């Protein structure tokens, strides 16, 4: 030992020893008292330990769980869960909240029964607490002490759907004052060993009390919440809990405030017990900005292909669960569970939103694809059984081999591209997952124009051939190779279109074969180049007609039945993504929409038109520019316009990110007002540059007026409604009166600084050549008399979400109808659900009971006839089964409705009590088995059947 080191040790010993070598004090064991509860008359500080662990963001869900790929982010959620439970078992007073179910599921499967029993006692849910609201809104609420409010989010349900909602003062992290206690955190620990130099109990208590009093000054009642945790914390939970043990112990000895371990439920109960009136919130919290030029409205559109994939798989899953039930979950050997897991994962706020790294987005898509493949096998097996046996018996083996076409949207469907020769024909089984009869037009690619279509009764039906555009064929070649690794050998020449009529919760069968068409069936199509003859520029064989101007732009919409006529334009434009070079470094990115300029997409004069006419539909093809192709369709039997778009790759050679929007412009006087849906349910009134809760300071007049559009958006004036429905979630707005715009695609060159550290630039790579993503999709437009648009938005909205499911088989000689069931419905053949009711869930559970959800589609007052009480006859829905037991549950089906309503907290709100007339369905009588639904009501049941 060197002399210097020895001297330091002797000096340290002298400090610790008194004269004669006696000890000044002793280190002793301190039993920390963490048993404090709520104390009346004091400021109660509820410490809520929590962690927020994304199920995929910078890393995939599995990488986060096991702690791999730590060069991106060091986090191991399995450690969090293990250490959390270990820490909780050391002290029964400790609490913890953890909400990421996908991680919990992985961990749960590995636990013993004794651990599971302990964890079950830790779960509960009573209120809603969150962080992200507009920065201006937050500051106003701090000053007015309205961070905590009663949220009445439904006009239809009024106070019966009130929920207490708390907004955190800053974020969902610990309060200011350095209270982060991760192992590697820099916050000072509570050092209570007086033998050590950095003893700091008094300072740490003062810091805690100061933070508590600061938060109490912006909060009502004598209860505040400290959110003790943040993203990916509690890798070693004991480090957090040990420090909180000390804080609770010493703060309560100090006595100025009372600290306690708590949960949101305990905190909510304390707020309720205060028996005070709370401010009322009646709209939503969109759009959100965390700074003046930082509106989180870009993610409404980010990764549009993934958004559509999630939407398509959701509708497919609904149908697959129905088919799983019809033939019996236990009889199939395969289940829909894999697709269910993938879809649940995709609902994460960094998944379908498009705010993840590219490799994580790929992982989400891969999981959806795997889930689909397994569900596809189940669907094919179920349809084979049903087509051979109907619902009368269980089939043990099937001869029909049904194939589906997941790439039909890019014109690739191998079974329909067969050679119709030597008596071969294509069997097209069309399944309808909706609860009412459905009429629609089927489109499949075929190789020859010598084809005819017959229905299930053998009658030839009207059909139409349309040549496939080269632009579509190019997309087919490119993306089929990207998806399958090889290009298709041959190219189909035509789309074959024919009408289909399908019963509710059932299927119909059609047959395509070679042959010459009957004289009464026209397949003629005519090509028109743009000309001066105005009649050549009008399309529509039925009540709806569109007129195109001489320049090739849409100009007039007219409906002969309703007498609605409106001049309008349909255009494309893009916003230049801000690169942060103008003083504020905020870029446009995956989260943030910050435009720095608007560029209309001009065509240099005229847009060449190619018009295809036929007995079923008319199409107008337009090459808008080198990277935008559009097809406008008007069906003879439909009363809306369908617009298909193919967009991309968006060019960024000029190093400008671009955010592409389509807009519809009319002369309607809409007074700054438009309406967007809330998760496909209530439509919420939006007013441009206005917020109902505070006086908005406008910094971003475009991004600050964008809202999520999941189902649709509409505007109205004194006489008309213009509605637009979408096939996936997008961002949308009405930037000027009479106009609606939808952002369809985004490609950006800079990261927006919200953690992803990656530009939103999705690549598609084929043979080591990469280019930007091309997307294909549709939106739909209709103009109605005022008050009549809701019927189309609600009914057709369900059809968009649940498209007809197509399955194909081949008939090689023989007679399919004699050996198969050509038409099937699980319901009474004379019954369908009411026009205002949708079936959301029909799922067989593991114990053979069935989960049923029914939803009323209309808000109160939304439609003069359909916003009324509806009734569903379960005896006719389940025609071949006898219900022995029916239990109504809450929406998530984890507790009975009666128990939920008994425990529901009814909050006082400020202001006069309004007169309400909330209509809800009554209890279900087991003898009558009729379910009533009031406007916007969703009712959930678990049903058991008698075994026969």
Q: Which of 513, 520, 521 is nearest to 452 (CA)?
A: 513
Average pLDDT for residues 377-387, to the nearest whole number? 94
Residue 429 to residue 385: CA distance in whole angstroms: 13
* Average pLDDT score over the chain: 90
Strand, helix or coil at 46?
strand
Q: Taking 50 as the threshold, does the pLDDT of residue 844 lie above it?
A: yes
What are residue 875's DSSP bridge partners?
Answer: none
Average pLDDT for residues 451-476, to the nearest whole number? 92
Q: Could you report the per-residue pLDDT of 784-828, keeping only the tens digit for each? A: 999 999 999 999 999 999 999 999 999 876 688 888 899 999 999
Q: Could you report the per-residue pLDDT of 80-98, keeping only the tens digit for each? A: 888 888 898 889 899 887 6
Q: Which two tokens stand for residue 547?
A: 């007129």
pLDDT (0 to 100) of residue 396:
59
pLDDT (0 to 100) of residue 10:
29
Query: Quick check: bond before 908 cis, omega within 30?
Result: no
Q: Taking 60 as the threshold, does the pLDDT of residue 12 lie above it?
A: no
Q: Could you report the per-residue pLDDT of 156-180, keeping only the tens digit for each? A: 999 998 999 999 999 999 999 999 9
Would strands 494-502 and 464-467 be described as parallel, antiparallel, or unpaired?
antiparallel
Q: Taking 60 as the threshold, does the pLDDT of residue 391 lie above it?
A: no
Q: Which of 258, 179, 196 is nearest to 24 (CA)?
A: 196
pLDDT (0 to 100) of residue 104:
77
Average pLDDT for residues 864-884, to the nearest whole number? 96
Element (H, E) at 440: strand 438-446
Q: Residue 485 — left, alpha, or beta (φ > 0 → left; ψ -120 to 50 → alpha)?
A: left
**Banded model confidence at residue 634, pLDDT cuts 50, 70, 90:** very high
pLDDT (0 to 100) of residue 19:
35
Output the CA–CA distances (angstroms, integers) from residue 903 to 126, 793, 900, in the order listed.
9, 36, 5
893-898 CB contacts, 8 Å cutoff, 24+ apart? 893/851, 893/940, 893/942, 897/940
Q: Taking 80 as the threshold, does the pLDDT of residue 526 lie above it?
A: no
- Beta carbons of 649 and 771 less than 8 angstroms apart: yes
Q: What percent of the chain has pLDDT over 70?
A: 92
pLDDT (0 to 100) of residue 605:
64
pLDDT (0 to 100) of residue 20:
37
Strand, helix or coil at 614?
coil
Residue 709 to residue 727: CA distance in whole angstroms: 10
Please report which residue ranges of 155-236 form alpha helices under DSSP H. Answer: 201-216
- Beta carbons of 597 and 575 less than 8 angstroms apart: yes
pLDDT (0 to 100) of residue 333:
80
Q: Taking 60 as the threshold, does the pLDDT of residue 140 lie above it?
A: yes
- Beta carbons of 434 and 827 less than 8 angstroms apart: no
Residue 632 to residue 441: CA distance in whole angstroms: 15
pLDDT (0 to 100) of residue 72:
86
**Banded model confidence at residue 65, pLDDT cuts 50, 70, 90:** confident
Q: Could you report the per-residue pLDDT of 322-354, keeping only the tens digit for each? A: 999 998 887 778 899 999 999 999 999 999 999
Average pLDDT for residues 705-731, to the nearest whole number? 97
Average pLDDT for residues 191-210, to the nearest whole number? 95
pLDDT (0 to 100) of residue 814:
66
**Banded model confidence at residue 696, pLDDT cuts 50, 70, 90:** very high
Phi, psi angles (nearest 5°) of residue 227: -85, 100
Q: Compare 7 and 363 and report the one with higher pLDDT.
A: 363
Q: Could you report the per-residue pLDDT of 509-518, keeping only the tens digit for each? A: 999 999 886 6
**Total-model pTM:** 0.93
Query: Quick check: bond before 251 cis, omega within 30?
Result: no
**Banded model confidence at residue 408, pLDDT cuts 50, 70, 90:** very high
Residue 362 to residue 863: CA distance in whole angstroms: 43
pLDDT (0 to 100) of residue 530:
54
Q: Compare 42 and 115 and report the one with higher pLDDT.
A: 42
Element (H, E) at 662: strand 658-666
Q: Taking 70 as the threshold, does the pLDDT of residue 916 lie above it?
A: yes
Average pLDDT for residues 493-519, to the nearest whole number? 91
Average pLDDT for residues 377-396, to the nearest whole number? 80
pLDDT (0 to 100) of residue 247:
98
């Amino acid at each position: 030992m060197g002399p210097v080191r020895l001297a330091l040790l002797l000096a340290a010993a002298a400090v610790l020893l008194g004269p004669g070598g006696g000890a000044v004090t002793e280190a002793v064991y301190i039993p920390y008292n963490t048993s404090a509860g709520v104390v009346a008359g004091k400021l109660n500080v509820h410490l809520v330990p929590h962690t927020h662990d994304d199920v995929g963001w910078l890393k995939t869900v599995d990488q986060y769980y096991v702690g791999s790929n730590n060069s991106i982010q060091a986090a191991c959620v399995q450690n969090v869960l293990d250490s959390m439970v270990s820490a909780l078992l050391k002290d029964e007073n400790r609490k913890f909240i953890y909400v990421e179910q996908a991680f919990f599921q992985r961990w749960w499967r590995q636990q013993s029964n004794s651990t599971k029993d302990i964890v079950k006692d830790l779960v509960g849910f009573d209120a809603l607490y969150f962080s992200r609201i507009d920065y201006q809104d937050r500051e106003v609420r701090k000053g007015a002490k309205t961070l905590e409010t009663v949220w009445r989010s439904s006009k239809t349900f009024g106070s019966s759907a009130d929920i207490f909602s708390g907004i955190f003062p800053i974020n969902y992290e610990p309060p200011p004052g350095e209270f982060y206690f991760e192992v590697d955190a820099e916050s000072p620990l509570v050092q209570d060993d007086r033998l050590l130099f950095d003893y700091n109990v008094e300072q740490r208590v003062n810091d805690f009390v100061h933070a508590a009093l600061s938060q109490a000054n912006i909060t009502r009642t004598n209860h505040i919440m400290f959110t003790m945790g943040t993203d990916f914390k509690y890798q070693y939970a004991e480090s957090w809990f040990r420090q909180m043990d000390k804080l609770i112990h010493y703060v309560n000895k100090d006595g100025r405030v009372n600290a306690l371990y708590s949960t949101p439920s305990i905190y909510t109960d304390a707020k309720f017990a205060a028996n005070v009136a709370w401010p009322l919130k009646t709209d939503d919290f969109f759009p959100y900005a965390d700074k003046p030029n930082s509106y989180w409205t870009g993610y409404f559109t980010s990764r549009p292909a993934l958004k559509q994939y999630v939407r398509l798989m959701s509708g497919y899953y609904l149908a697959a669960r129905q088919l799983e039930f019809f033939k019996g979950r236990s009889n199939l050997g395969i289940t829909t569970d894999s697709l269910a897991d993938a879809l649940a994962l995709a609902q994460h706020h960094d998944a379908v939103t498009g705010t993840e790294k590219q490799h994580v987005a790929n992982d989400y898509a891969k999981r959806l694809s795997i889930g689909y493949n397994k569900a596809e096998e189940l669907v094919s097996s179920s349809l084979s059984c049903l087509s051979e046996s109907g619902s009368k018996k269980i089939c043990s083996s099937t001869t029909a081999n049904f194939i589906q076409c997941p790439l039909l949207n890019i014109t690739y469907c191998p079974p329909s591209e067969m050679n119709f020769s030597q008596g071969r024909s294509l069997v097209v089984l069309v399944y309808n997952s909706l609860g009412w009869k459905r009429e629609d037009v089927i489109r499949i690619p075929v190789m020859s124009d010598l084809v005819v279509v017959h229905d299930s009764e053998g009658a030839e039906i009207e059909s139409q051939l349309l040549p496939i555009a080269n632009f579509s064929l190019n997309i087919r070649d490119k993306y089929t190779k990207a998806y399958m690794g090889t290009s298709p050998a041959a190219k189909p020449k035509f789309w074959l279109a024919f009408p289909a009529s399908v019963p509710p919760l059932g299927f119909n069968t059609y047959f395509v074969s070679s042959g010459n068409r009957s004289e009464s069936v026209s397949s003629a199509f005519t090509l028109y180049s743009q000309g001066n003859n105005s009649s050549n520029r009008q399309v529509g064989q039925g009540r709806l007609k569109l007129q195109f101007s001489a320049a090739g732009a849409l100009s007039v919409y007219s409906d002969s039945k309703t007498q609605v006529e409106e001049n309008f334009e349909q255009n494309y434009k893009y916003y230049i993504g801000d690169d942060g070079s103008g003083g504020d470094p905020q870029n446009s990115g995956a989260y943030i929409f910050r435009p720095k300029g608007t560029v209309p997409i001009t065509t240099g004069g005229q847009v060449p038109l190619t018009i295809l006419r036929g007995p079923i539909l008319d199409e107008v093809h337009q090459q808008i520019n080198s990277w935008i192709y559009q097809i406008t369709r008007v069906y003879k039997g439909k009363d809306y316009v369908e617009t298909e778009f193919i967009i991309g790759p968006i060019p960024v050679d000029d190093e400008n990110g671009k955010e592409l929007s389509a807009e519809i412009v009319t002369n309607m006087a809409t007074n700054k007002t438009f309406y967007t849906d809330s998760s496909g349910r209530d439509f919420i009134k939006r007013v441009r540059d206005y917020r109902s809760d505070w006086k908005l300071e406008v910094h971003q007049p475009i991004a600050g007026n964008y809202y999520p559009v999941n189902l649709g958006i509409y505007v109205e004036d004194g006489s008309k409604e213009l509605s637009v429905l979408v096939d996936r979630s997008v961002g949308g707005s009405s930037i000027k009166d009479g106009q609606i715009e939808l952002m369809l695609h985004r490609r950006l060159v800079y990261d927006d600084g919200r953690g992803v550290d990656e530009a939103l630039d999705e690549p598609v790579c084929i043979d080591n050549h990469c280019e930007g993503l091309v997307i294909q999709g549709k939106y739909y437009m209709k103009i109605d008399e005022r008050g009549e648009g809701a019927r189309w938005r609600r009914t057709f909205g369900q059809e968009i979400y649940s498209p007809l499911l197509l399955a194909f088989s081949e008939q090689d000689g023989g007679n399919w109808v004699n050996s198969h069931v050509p038409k099937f419905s699980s319901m009474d053949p004379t019954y369908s659900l009411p026009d205002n009711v949708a079936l959301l869930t029909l799922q067989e559970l593991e114990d053979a009971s069935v989960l049923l959800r029914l939803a009323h589609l209309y808000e109160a007052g939304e439609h003069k006839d359909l916003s009324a009480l509806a009734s569903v006859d379960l005896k006719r829905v389940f025609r071949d089964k006898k219900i022995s037991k029916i239990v109504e549950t809450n929406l998530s089906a984890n507790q009975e409705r009666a128990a939920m309503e008994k425990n529901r907290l009814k909050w006082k709100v400020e202001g006069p009590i309004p007169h309400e007339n909330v209509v809800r369905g009554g209890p279900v009588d087991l003898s009558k088995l009729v379910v009533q639904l009031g406007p916007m009501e969703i009712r959930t049941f678990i049903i058991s059947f008698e075994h026969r």
